[in-house]
Structure 1
């Protein structure tokens, strides 16, 4: 554990106090031994299966120049807990305001601190899952606090890594990181100022910092069982979208994460992809959301915990594999990796073809659409990753989903290339790739002439709305609050879905259209239309001309993929425009101009919002560019680094 330097200011009040609480806890195994001086927890020695013997030292605080701080108050907690996900509850229950901060010559002030006398006891009839030790220091600002972690396996240490020694060591690592960052992404050479380079470095660093090793099991509902069952226990090494809000793995997010991480460290990316494919069951299904233990489940609303084994997610890991196949220096080690991976890739690919097939040959349909047609303006399709993006108003087996068809075209091409490199049969994959990229068949199945765009197809009505239901009221008694319910003013029929947005762009986003296709020119025009998808901040997810643009899906379900700007889709758009700008065809110059303009808009807005808030965000407002949704979101929003580097 490195030192924790604090250079915080007090906002004008020189006597402002800050309390820092540092947790150390076991998780079902391992030991912790506290070492005290009065009420100050000086250090913790311990052992664990993963770390072996270790020592954590809480050094006395200092001023910013390293001089001993004249006065600080200390508290500690030694408690038992039923699990890591209950640590906050244990700490809250032990807080007391009976403590007094009384620096010599200063006023006496009460403050809240942990109180060992109030710590909840362990359950007498069962061993606690977690032993918690907590160090609290209360002190004025500015200050510096250092905490060191020392492994017992490292014996030849000349001295502790604290103070100037640590600062010097860290400075060397910072310089090495900055040099490697420039060698990898060339932002200085491309003319980005130092402040924007630091912004990009922070984006990559935070995604790297979000890599985690998780272990446990999902809760799964299978078609073969009437009751939910625990999925086989296993590990997962993965990046996460947000360490504080989404601290778990998401299948379709991870393919986007690896587009960035693979350029930084291809070997690291290969390991992550292998971990994900190891979560596959015998049928080839991978749970799309990895909620692997009680601590993870404590962060997830109950309705999202259960995973259904017919539910897919965009197979974006094929995007990452496509990139890894293009990495220079492919040799025996990379070929051996593909050979180990290939049986799982083949099974995964076959699972999509078997379970997500559409009503016609070479069509596909997302399973797991929300069946509640009474409350939702448009039933959700969480499995697509695009949650509330407008689909057919009445889910049915007749649906044809454009985005899934395009994902399968990408997957077929990658499978063919992997099979050919390994000397495995590849004809089936090449046949599927040719069929799914055949522009004539694509037009026949998904081009909506009346709408002038590519679209989903299904049992659909545009004449739907939300209205307050009429409820019977008994005289003299309070009636139930009327809900907003869906009304269908015109019966649905089989037709193309009238929604222009990200789904419409998928043949362009995944580069399936021929460079001379007139539909390419049409989509480029839609992208640049400010009435449709264009904003000064990036491409909005749904056109302003679409009926469900920025419409609530229920009374308490605001628009999510119905207008806001998402960076993963904008990255695919910039990447595709870069591709078409280099292909001979009638739209080459149009694509090149759009590429330059969209790239500049994305970079400028994400950097501007980062300066204003200090964060990358889950999504961005299409009307103001302001960051919104979850933050910090250093998942696929960090793809801005690749946009800056022009790495596609």
Structure 2
């Protein structure tokens, strides 16, 4: 049991009612983020607006700052805000701290606030609804709710959050509480065609369910609630097309036309290994087989079966399908046979083989293992550069594309590299001129001419660090893996303690505040996606939890 509450005040922390606790709609649930100075909230969905108090950040001493509870000490007394349900926020403040509400735009949804002085403090309630009258009625009724009782109910969640065995740094414990809170706030309830609770990288701005993000989320949730972890995967599978295709983004009303890295079987197998559940495994296995077969049919580039990502015309997002949107791997003329796509697929074949064997399907297990071996052999024959000692993509029908990217380490994670190849990969990893930056591992080598701080062009991402850590452990580099694990946890914790947030990606030099990094060409809203580095990001939180718990798998398939 984790007996620590998050308690760092800062700008941009997500604030919403969680679908883990009750109805939380993708369509209409109220989503906000913290406004540091003056103290308040920015409402993001379904109606934009601001609630704030005449209270500078310097006068605040945070007591509890979670995704649905704010408790702050001020010179005038206590300030508390808590989500009562998906459409209603309640709280109290000193009478001298009058709340201000500004609604920026009302497109079918409305915000209303009600206040009353009770017991020497100002009771307040804010609500959203589809009419002004309904919002006002909802807010007025919520004034009767007991704020401290609702707050206590919300904080019970932390009673089930995990504590690692042994001593860990205090900064990790504090950040552990925060990352559990981030996982919780980014959950929706069942809605439309999605029959179970589901996760999103961030309730704002992304909002949707994402394929490979959901796999990472499951790895964090398994330490809190294994049923919720399974639901994160089952939700994705529930939106699978009849032909096996799974889109990279999904919602109750939307699916995209491209896919994403196939890592769902890996995540499902990790959940099964934690606590075997043959019923769930048996339900997931056919869908996972059909999905991988779709990839192998629709993304193969040659008779060897190696795979290529879909390439887009957008110069700021050449391959959203790869998950590495703007990687310089995709700068030139494609398509490219992709080392990571092919290695992910080989790994999935191994996990499907393990699943089949657990289900008593020995012939299927053997076939999947044979296919894995063929894919691994093709990767090593066609995508390994023996001169440079690194894995690269190859232009279809042409030469290797020698961008030294994090994708070159994925065959190590997948267990398809030889010991000699891994030795050479580790030499690149340890080189401070290449990948051993102050905060390793940059997604493009420091000495590569395409390296920059912009997203997948050189910043450090927690999910790819996780792959590298797991690969190092698989091949016996335990000390180096532990060093990278600790560096990763320390850096995430440092920025959380400074700012209160868990970020999408980080400066590999360890100097810049993540929100000041480039994202698709510019900083913040000027970037190509219309927003900057995302705060309170799901997979960074999930993998922090998993890395602290020390259960990164050895890599057995």
Q: 1:206 aligns with which of 158, 173, 182?
A: 182
- 1:32 corresponds in structure 2 to none
Matches within 5 A, 1:182-221: 182=163, 185-186=164-165, 189=166, 191-213=167-189, 215-216=191-192
Q: 1:564 aligns with which of 452, 459, 462?
A: 459
User: How far 1:6 moved relative to its partner?
Assistant: 5.8
Is 1:614 equivalent to 2:500 in the alignment? Answer: yes
User: How far 1:174 moved relative to its partner?
Assistant: 6.7
Structure with greater helix share of residues = 2
Q: 5+ unaligned residues in a row in structure 2: which ranges?
A: 1-16, 22-63, 118-124, 516-532, 553-557
Q: 1:276 aligns with which of 222, 227, 236?
A: 236
- 2:470 corresponds in structure 1 to 575
User: How far 1:247 moved relative to its partner?
Assistant: 2.3
Q: 2:537 aligns with which of 613, 633, 638?
A: 633
Cα RMSD (Å): 4.2
- 2:328 corresponds in structure 1 to 390
- 2:417 corresponds in structure 1 to 513
State the 4+ residue runs in structure 1 displaced beyond 4 angstroms: 1-7, 17-26, 56-59, 71-77, 99-102, 119-122, 134-137, 146-149, 165-171, 233-236, 392-397
- 2:249 corresponds in structure 1 to 289
Q: 5+ unaligned residues in a row in structure 1: which ranges?
A: 27-55, 64-68, 103-112, 123-129, 138-145, 150-160, 217-232, 294-304, 460-492, 552-558, 582-590
User: How far 1:335 moved relative to its partner?
Assistant: 1.5
Is 1:503 equivalent to 2:407 in the alignment? Answer: yes
Query: Residues 444, 74 of structure 1: CA spacing in aligned structure 2 closer, same or farther, 3 A cutoff?
Result: closer
List per-residue Cα deviations over 1:538-566 (Å, max 9, x = no partner). 20000122221118xxxxxxx22011000
Query: Residues 620, 147 of structure 1: CA spacing in aligned structure 2 closer, same or farther, 3 A cutoff?
Result: farther
Q: 1:238 aligns with which of 181, 195, 198?
A: 198
TM-score between the two structures when normalised by the length of structure 1:
0.62
TM-score between the two structures when normalised by the length of structure 2:
0.71
- 1:254 corresponds in structure 2 to 214
- Distance (Å, rounded) in 1 between the aligned partners of 2:81 and 2:153: 25
Contact in 2 for aligned 1:541/1:562 (Cα 8 Å): yes
Query: Residues 421, 544 of structure 1: CA spacing in aligned structure 2 closer, same or farther, 3 A cutoff?
Result: same
User: How far 1:131 moved relative to its partner?
Assistant: 4.2
Larger radius of gyration: 1
Q: 2:437 aligns with which of 502, 524, 535?
A: 535
- Distance (Å, rounded) in 1 between the aligned partners of 2:207 and 2:225: 22
Contact in 2 for aligned 1:21/1:134 (Cα 8 Å): no
SS in 2 for 1:623: coil
Contact in 1 for aligned 2:342/2:379 (Cα 8 Å): no
- 1:153 corresponds in structure 2 to none
Greater RCO between the two (CA within 8 Å, min separation 6)? 2
Query: Residues 134, 409 of structure 1: CA spacing in aligned structure 2 closer, same or farther, 3 A cutoff?
Result: farther
Is 1:429 equivalent to 2:383 in the alignment? Answer: no
- 1:264 corresponds in structure 2 to 224
- Distance (Å, rounded) in 2 between the aligned partners of 1:622 and 1:75: 40
- 1:381 corresponds in structure 2 to 319
Contact in 1 for aligned 2:389/2:425 (Cα 8 Å): no
Q: How many residues align?
A: 460
Contact in 1 for aligned 2:217/2:538 (Cα 8 Å): no
List per-residue Cα deviations over 1:567-611 (Å, max 9, x = no partner). 000011112222222xxxxxxxxx233223212211221111111
- 2:13 corresponds in structure 1 to none
Q: 2:289 aligns with which of 317, 334, 346?
A: 346
User: How far 1:5 moved relative to its partner?
Assistant: 7.2
List per-residue Cα deviations over 1:124-157 (Å, max 9, x = no partner). xxxxxx94337779xxxxxxxx9676xxxxxxxx
User: How far 1:166 moved relative to its partner?
Assistant: 6.6
Q: 2:491 aligns with which of 605, 616, 619?
A: 605
User: How far 1:526 moved relative to its partner?
Assistant: 0.7
- Distance (Å, rounded) in 2 between the aligned partners of 1:498 and 1:284: 33
Matches within 5 A, 1:115-154: 131-133=134-136
Query: Residues 86, 617 of structure 1: CA spacing in aligned structure 2 closer, same or farther, 3 A cutoff?
Result: farther
